[in-house]
Chains A and B, each alone.
Chain A
């Protein structure tokens, strides 16, 4: 009964989506207030209906209702509660339903929180969001229905892939989807602007919070996925340039570009057409990612089922939306009033460069990801494009981004002084040079050491160049500590968000360079009592035993990790065999020292009681993820920028007047 209710609610949501796709847009074009007024209610209704559907599926998982094909194939009554819940999206049908749930959630959020934007824009935006919702709801109901019953109902399910039985499954997909799918609302805003033929700085102000939210979650989702793969797969790798990773990384690159170009649009009323184009492009890449990951064209843990019909359906959605939005763009963009040009040496000039490099980098990743698929389709040759290709292409394109980033941050709007900024950045440059020279001195002169040292210098330059804004604005070494602190307290949120975002990127780069240059690994067969030395650590294999988990049996191997004679860690990697499927699964054991990690994984045991032990030493590896957390934090602070919540653009003169009474400033309705 509950299942049928969920199924019914989903079909109703499709009908609501159809209504929302047509009438509000019609009303917006013809200035019919009654039709436009329908949009927010429909968006909220569609969200509630999808919630009912999702709750029904979750109910089936919680109660192990194996009369559903979906639960039978992917669940098991012995599964711990957390995996019963997260197992809802640990399969194709459920994950697409989660995708749709987040899609309609964003529609509802715009309906509820964007009261201050003009009615026409809001109605057209929700209408465009309705198109996407309709397409995906149709896909769920027709091709990927989670509510299919089986009869007679089996007594037990087949269980969830053990690799997915991890807390990562509870966190990674929802966070990543919020980022991925959040760009749909940005896409809808862009489509609405094109339909209405009206695009101004205020539009950028309304869209920017949505770009920020999506970007923050996409950043966190990618970082989370990277850490999950790192500890789960047991290879010690944190990024594989796997097509599935690239699928999420491409919208991140264009989304980052969009985040910056929207600032230019908001502040200077320039780059308008380009910003709209980026908005369409970013969501198109999200759709492309969904296609790559879910259609089965790639084999990976993410591709749950290989069903050609589903692949074709998503491909059709992809082509309709990419083709449709590009056509709309080609048709309507010439009608938009072009923004002004500006001096090349200026904040906006540097942001143009940022956009140029980020989109070029995205194009390189795009080619590397799709080339094997295209080549195989046309010539039958099977190739794999891996890390060497991306290091060769993506790496060099990002170097100028890192070099120019601190300059852009300090350049003034309108007309900047490049030489002046260079002088102000002297200290950061000196620090970067010291890091470079110091490292070459430490490592000895060789090609590797010079490359590593340059990477180090670049990371230090990015970090200290970004932090310099804080030191300079607070006049830290000039006016005394107390007064500087008072100044720091008075900083606008944008200062912090820029500094954190940019320094975070530098810290991630520092983690990447250090890990790549100095990581080491050791593979040995160890017997109880065996000891080995590596990187100043002493590892002893103590013993192993078997124990029972909730739905698996595991063999745990215990190692003692010593440094300088002191025990610094008891490591217990294990090998599990899951009861439901009998599938084996290795669990790694990781010890963190400062920012560095030591990583243990075990393989098979041999006849003589020896066990293959793989130990990785990963210096400063956690900086990779800490950097991304800082970037996201920067994004969060930007969300609290007062200007984003004020409805209408406020002129500089007026803003000064308002600044005195921040506390009493209320959002002014636009138009």
Chain B
């Protein structure tokens, strides 16, 4: 093989590998990403049963039902709509009513969101960004955290 042929071969091979990778990535992005939805989004538009989504919002007050053993029921709300959620497992340590969470899973035929993962905040001053922004857009966000941090910053020299 001449130098030129070798170089062409290498470029061809690199093109082939990169081409296949681009194909895989495009297919992956079209088929296996999860969209974030608020309860209102779900109420407005039909979400296909079984389609994987992330549901974000606040845990509705007085909606947490732990009476069924390891299956936990609660409702996620954005103050306009509320979606019932069923989750089997251990809730995150900082899961509480009135707090922002993200649940990942799918809707079933009865309009119940079957979650396989529930994410809450990592520490006291954290709110999932998606939830925060959606609530803020809809005007349901109470600026209590900011009020608290303003109070704190007065002390800051």
- Interface residues, chain A, with chain B CB atoms under 8 Å away: 69, 148-152, 154, 161-163, 234-235, 299-301, 341, 343-344, 352-353, 356-357, 360-361, 363-364, 367-368, 371-372, 381-386, 388-389, 392-393, 396-397, 523-525, 575, 581, 583-586, 601-604, 606, 610, 612, 614
Contacts and interface: CB of A to CB of B under 8 A. Distances in A.
B13 A356 contact: yes
Interface in B120-152: 122-124, 126, 128-130, 134
B24 interface: yes
Contacts of A602: 90
Interface size class on chain B is: 35 or more
A149 B157 contact: yes
Contact of A523 (B66, B89, B94): B89
Most B-side CB within 10 Å, residue of A384, A392, A581: A384
Contact of A368 (B1, B3, B28): B28
A393 B35 contact: no
Contacts of B66: 604, 606
Given A300-B122, A381-B35, A606-B66, A150 B24 contact: no
A584 B94 contact: yes
A384 B91 contact: no
Contact of B90 (A357, A368, A612): A612
A583 B36 contact: no
Contacts of A610: 69
A299 B128 contact: yes
B17 A356 contact: yes
B18 to A, nearest CB: 6
B25 A367 contact: yes
B130 A523 contact: no
A289 B82 CA distance: 37
> For chain B, what secondary structure do more than half of its interface residues adopt (helix, strand, loop), or is it mixed?
mixed
Contacts of A388: 28, 31-32
B111 interface: no
B80 interface: no
B36 A383 contact: yes
B3 A523 contact: no
Nearest to A372: B33
Contact of A360 (B21, B27, B94): B21
28 contacts: A148-B157, A149-B157, A152-B155, A161-B122, A161-B123, A299-B126, A360-B17, A368-B29, A371-B29, A381-B35, A382-B134, A383-B33, A384-B36, A384-B54, A386-B34, A389-B32, A392-B27, A396-B24, A397-B24, A523-B88, A523-B90, A575-B93, A583-B124, A584-B94, A585-B93, A602-B90, A606-B66, A612-B89
A162 B54 CA distance: 27
Contact of A614 (B27, B32, B90, B93): B90
B35 A385 contact: no
A389 B33 contact: yes
Interface of B: 1, 3, 6-7, 9-10, 13-14, 17-18, 21, 24-25, 27-29, 31-36, 54, 66-67, 69-70, 88-91, 93-94, 104, 117, 122-124, 126, 128-130, 134, 155-157
Given A69-B156, A161-B122, A583-B124, A525 B32 contact: no
A602 B156 CA distance: 40
B34 A384 contact: yes
Contacts of B27: 392
Contact of A604 (B88, B91, B122, B134): B91
Given A150-B155, A389-B32, A523-B89, A356 B14 contact: yes
Contact of B123 (A361, A368, A583): A583
A525 B93 contact: no
A353 B14 CA distance: 9
Contacts of A300: 122
Given A371-B29, A384-B33, A603-B91, A151 B126 contact: no
A160 to B, nearest CB: 10
B62 to A, nearest CB: 16
A583 B124 CA distance: 7
B94 A389 contact: no
A150 B34 contact: no
Given A584-B94, A603-B91, A612-B90, A163 B10 contact: no
A393 B90 contact: no
